């Protein structure tokens, strides 16, 4: 048995411990205000890269954007400045026609057509320019088939390149090449032609004595037919008269005296004097 004195001693110690705990609890004050945050600690080490997630589903195609500006292209020269001249400006259906071209793209395929009317053209020759952008092609005759006959008159011959070059020239088609050198009573006048017309200015020509409604082509004669410069073309009225105004005299015509010729598709021919002068300094 435990002695009574020892048991009493244990009970007394337990009681005193409880009293002390109650006293400490009663003496504890209310919590103080929260202190200011401390200095931010150093950044920790970067963790390992996670695994790549699965690829998402492709979204719908967006609307087409606006068309960008035209690029400079791979060609060396721009598609303008091309020119063609004809070895002769008057031809019959059974004669050959030679077309000389310059200013085309190097090694450009070119088709030669005669404009039949507003809705159709007839291809009668094709060729390719050389490395300098020039060519010369001769067709034995203009196409004249029963299905697409050409009537005598003034036509446009066009040269169209596959790389965008374009040029044209006028040609007069007649039934026979036996044209008289001139016709009695036919006259041609170049207004102010003897006074001198500046390069770059237009030319006004007047004609009379031509056939009624005759198609007229007016050119400045060169040293040979291939060098003739087309000025203007139109029909005479029912009285065989006309007044035509050309475009600017090209710079290819140097100052000097020239012969202007007006030829009709019914055989009428007339000439006049043209004096070309250099432009005045303004």
Domain boundaries, the chain: 78-177, 179-282
Topology of the domain comprising 179-282: Immunoglobulin-like (2.60.40)
Q: Residue 151: what pLDDT?
A: 79
Q: Residue 4: what pLDDT?
A: 64
Topology of the domain comprising 78-177: Immunoglobulin-like (2.60.40)
Domains 78-177 and 179-282 share a fold: yes
pTM exceeds 0.95 for this model: no
Question: What stretches in the chain show pLDDT beneath 50?
Answer: 71-79, 178-182
Q: Residue 75: what pLDDT?
A: 42
Greatest Cα-to-Cα distance within the chain, rounded to the nearest angstrom: 174
Q: Residue 184: what pLDDT?
A: 61
Q: Quickly count helices (H) and strands (E) in the chain.
A: 1, 16
Half-sphere exposure in the Cβ direction for 78 (13 Å, CA): 5
Listing DSSP states for 237-275 in one string gives -TTS-EEEEEEEPPTTS-SEEEEEEEEETTS-EEEEEEE
């Amino acid at each position: 048995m435990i002695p009574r004195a020892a048991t009493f001693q244990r009970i007394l110690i337990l009681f005193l411990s409880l009293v002390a705990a109650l006293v400490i609890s009663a003496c504890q004050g209310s919590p103080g205000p929260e202190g200011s945050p401390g200095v931010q600690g150093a950044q920790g080490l970067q963790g390992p890269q996670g695994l790549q997630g699965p690829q998402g589903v492709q979204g719908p195609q967006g609307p087409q954007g606006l068309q960008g500006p035209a690029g400079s292209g791979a060609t060396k020269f721009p598609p303008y400045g091309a020119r063609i001249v004809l070895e002769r400006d008057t031809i019959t259906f059974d004669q050959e026609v030679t077309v000389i071209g310059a200013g085309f793209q190097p090694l450009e395929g070119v088709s030669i057509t005669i404009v039949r009317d507003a809705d159709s053209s007839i291809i009668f020759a094709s060729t390719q320019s050389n490395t300098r952008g020039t060519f010369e092609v001769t067709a034995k005759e203009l196409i004249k088939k029963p299905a697409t006959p050409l009537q005598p008159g003034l036509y446009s011959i066009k040269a169209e390149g596959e790389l965008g070059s374009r040029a044209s020239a006028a040609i007069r088609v007649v039934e026979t090449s036996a044209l008289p050198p001139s016709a009695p009573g036919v006259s041609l006048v170049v207004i102010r032609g003897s006074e001198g017309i500046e390069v770059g200015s237009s030319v006004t020509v007047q004609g009379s004595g031509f056939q009624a409604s005759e198609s007229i082509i007016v050119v400045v004669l060169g040293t040979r037919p291939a060098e003739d410069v087309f000025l203007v073309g139109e029909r005479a009225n029912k009285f065989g008269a006309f007044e035509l105004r050309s475009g600017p005299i090209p710079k290819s015509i140097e100052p000097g005296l020239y012969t202007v010729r007006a030829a009709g598709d019914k055989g009428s021919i007339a000439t006049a004097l043209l004096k070309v002068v250099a432009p005045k300094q303004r």
